[in-house]
Amino acid sequence: MKKSAAILTLAFSLTILNGFGQTLQNDIALVSLEPGFEFPHEEKSTAYSSGLLEEWIKDKKSAKAILGYTGEGRTVEAYYFPGSSDKKALVIGGMHGSELSSIEIAKQLVEVLSEGERPYYNVVIVPSLFPDNASKAMMRVTKQKDNIGRYTTEESVDPNRQMPQPGKAFSPKLPFDIYGRIIEKENQFLLQLIQDYSPSRIVNLHAIKDVTKAGIYADPRTDCDGYALGFSTDSSLAISMASLIESGGGKVPGNNLQQTPTALYYNDPETAPVGLFQKRNFLGSAMPNSRGYGASLGGWASTAVCDETGQRDAARLITVEFPGYQPSSAYKGEDRMACMLNVQLYVAAVSKIFLGENFIE
Ligand SMILES: [Zn+2]
């Protein structure tokens, strides 16, 4: 894998608001960290086991584990950073390997937290969930329009459409999705992690080709039978993150902040009032062999699980859709600066708003 470190740094003077109208900071250093960047292996990586999370949270020290190995022998890694509270958050990058900018955001977040910024939430970050697929995308990084690396094979189901039935626990012995298809290994690592860790909030980092749809979105939480628990604070959290990005000059057009702010993804069903049944979209995109159909992480994680084997509350689920698949290193000149700034602002939205003491569950 290509090893290129921070290739471009630019000190930037900027005033951004924290989503609540207060000024946060004036200096932002723009750093471009390529998706292929590998962090130096100073600390030893431990193989993941369910007891490890408890140890991490007790020790309150940053740590790292290998969740497992991919088909091509790459590691799927998870980083832990302690928070000042006992609350737990999870951040996932690269569920779609083609969305390299999402991996850049996740890796920069690891960098920011490694430098000592202490969040309110304890956080586990999986920067690149499908590293085999991302590696295919990296080989084609100059071809801006293609979607290489989204799917593992020509027949594979969309990685974000292979979750278990909402309301049901993930079972490593029966790792099947809502339509009875086997869940890919990388997603099994993730689902096991969520089941063991039980985060109260999750950010799933994605990127979108249609840049007019870029923004920060929330899934409506429900009980295990699918009845709505209320969307207002989920929406407020997403809008606060989007406001921070926009106030710094970043792009979140899908949130429509200047007219009617929204945290609802454009093709998701309307949110149901508290206590009423919440419709979910299991159809995704129309693709051959129904590979675009299934339960998304958003639908599964934001639904409570009441199975005896894996009870947990509904998690707040924020889906980040960064404008454009490419990492900042794929652009030149002013476009590159604009992308780097945007990445930095998306990172700040996660580290300062999402991981901060805001709308606590
Ligand atoms: Zn995606």
What are 97-154's pLDDT values in tens digits? Answer: 999 999 999 999 999 999 988 999 999 999 999 999 999 988 876 555 567 788 888 8
Per-residue pLDDT tens over the stretch 36-82: 777 766 566 788 988 999 999 999 999 999 999 999 999 999 999 99
Residue 283 has pLDDT above 50, yes or no: yes
Q: 55 CA distance to ligand 1 centroid (A)?
A: 32
Quick one: pLDDT at residue 20?
A: 63
Helix then strand count (H, E) for the chain reads 7, 10
Per-residue pLDDT tens over the stretch 284-339: 666 666 777 899 999 999 999 998 877 899 999 999 999 999 999 999 999 999 99
Using a CB cutoff of 8 Å and minimum separation of 24, what contacts does 47-54 make?
A: 48/78, 48/189, 48/193, 50/192, 50/196, 53/80, 53/124, 53/196, 53/197
Closest to 340 in 3D by CA, of 109, 101, 128: 101
Residue 26 has pLDDT above 50, yes or no: no
Q: pTM score > 0.85 for this model?
A: yes
Q: 162 CA distance to ligand 1 centroid (A)?
A: 13
Quick one: pLDDT at residue 39?
A: 72
For residues 303 and 294, give the distance between their C-alpha atoms in angstroms, rounded to a whole number: 15
Q: 56 CA distance to ligand 1 centroid (A)?
A: 29
For residues 281 and 92, give the distance between their C-alpha atoms in angstroms, rounded to a whole number: 21
Q: 107 CA distance to ligand 1 centroid (A)?
A: 17
By DSSP bridging, strand 27-31 and strand 316-323 are unpaired
Q: 96 CA distance to ligand 1 centroid (A)?
A: 5
Dihedral, 113, 115, 116, 117 alpha carbons, nearest 10: -50
The DSSP element (H or E) to which 123 belongs, if any, is strand 122-126
Tokens for 146, please give them.
């293609």
Quick one: pLDDT at residue 91?
A: 98
DSSP 246-288: HHTT---GGG-TTSS---S-TTSPPPPPTTSBPP-----S--G
Per-residue pLDDT tens over the stretch 185-198: 999 999 999 999 99
Q: 59 CA distance to ligand 1 centroid (A)?
A: 34
Instruction: State mean pLDDT over 16-23.
Output: 59
Alpha helices in 182-272 (DSSP H): 185-197, 232-247
Q: 208 CA distance to ligand 1 centroid (A)?
A: 7
Quick one: pLDDT at residue 216?
A: 98
- Mean pLDDT score of the chain, rounded to an integer? 88
For residues 151 and 133, give the distance between their C-alpha atoms in angstroms, rounded to a whole number: 7
Quick one: pLDDT at residue 278?
A: 95
Which domains are assigned to the chain? 9-354 (3.40.630)
Q: 325 CA distance to ligand 1 centroid (A)?
A: 9
Q: 76 CA distance to ligand 1 centroid (A)?
A: 18
Residue 15 has pLDDT above 80, yes or no: no
Q: 97 CA distance to ligand 1 centroid (A)?
A: 8
